[in-house]
Chains A and B, each alone.
Chain A
Amino acid sequence: DTVLTQSPALAVSPGERVTISCRASESVSTLMHWYQQKPGQQPKLLIYKASNLASGVPARFSGSGSGTDFTFTIDPVEADDIATYYCHQSWNSRTFGGGTKLELK
């Protein structure tokens, strides 16, 4: 199965730009998606197919990449963005990354 590797945590301040990376163990083309999960809530789709903003998602969120290397960016970060972010591929079966927990500095 395709393994997705994310850094476990990042500390940010509101107003900053933050980039989260996700590396796949093999190419997933552009079938990489990004989810946000806040404590006690279900995940929520933010970016689909690497760079497409899901409906209703603010333009502060963006994604890029193809093949094995992907990035997810929030610019600028708001306090409400503190959450865990997961990458998820749908090219080879489906797998989730381990998640990156965004914390306040």
Chain B
Amino acid sequence: QVQLKESGPGLVQPSQTLSLTCTVSGFSLMDYSVHWVRQPPGKGLEWMGRMKYDGDTYYNSALKSRLSISRDTSKSQVFLKMNSLQTEDTAIYYCTVLYYFDYWGQGVMVTVSS
């Protein structure tokens, strides 16, 4: 069955770089796009960007200068890197397939704090 699982550090220092990995199973990264969505505590959802099935990437314009999404199809992994983190980047980070059906990872809570 389709599964997505995020992994990465729970705590990042301000101004540092966040690196997250989304490991998928049950489908090929060359068949479906994988998106990153985040949610600050008590707030709404923010679409961050996506790795398209053909390898193309697209980013939220507000995050584009700090964000990079890449993949390793042989390992079924999608990577998120975001630099210059600030406290307002504290959030649950999800990787997800958003199509006419959806699959979501459990999410990983990332806290930006010194």
- Count residues on chain B whose CB falls below 8 Å from chain A CBs: 21
CB B61 to nearest CB in A, in angstroms, measures 6
Residues 71-107 of chain B: 1 if any A CB is under 8 Å from the residue's CB, otherwise 0? 0000000000000000000000010101011101111
Say whether B44 contacts A99, CB under 8 Å.
yes
A99 nearest in chain B by CB position = B44
Alpha-carbon separation in the docked complex, A94 to B100 (Å): 14
A43 touches B100 (CB 8 A): no
Interface segment out of the listed B13-21, B22-30, B45-53:
B45-53
User: Is the pair A93, B100 in contact by a Cβ cutoff of 8 Å?
Assistant: no
Query: Is A44 among interface residues, defined by CB-CB distance under 8 A?
Result: yes
- Is B60's beta carbon under 8 Å from chain A? yes
CB within 8 Å for A43 and B102 given contacts A1-B61, A93-B61: yes
Segment of A11-19, A21-29, A47-55, A58-66 in the binding face: A47-55
- Bound-state CA distance A48–B44 (Å) is 19
With beta carbons under 8 angstroms apart, the residue of A43, A90, A93, A96 that contacts B104 is A43
A86 with B102: CB separation less than 8 A: no
CB distance from B43 to the nearest CB of A (A): 8
Which residues on B sit within 8 Å (CB–CB) of A37? 45
Residues of A whose CB lies within 8 Å of any CB of B are 1, 33, 35, 37, 42-45, 48-49, 52, 54-55, 84, 86, 88, 90, 93-99
Extra contacts besides A54-B100, A94-B50 (18): CB < 8 Å = A1-B61, A1-B62, A37-B45, A42-B104, A43-B45, A43-B102, A52-B100, A86-B44, A90-B98, A93-B58, A93-B60, A94-B47, A95-B47, A96-B44, A96-B46, A96-B47, A97-B44, A98-B44
Chain B residues with a Cβ under 8 A of chain A: 35, 37, 44-47, 50, 58, 60-62, 94, 96, 98, 100-102, 104-107
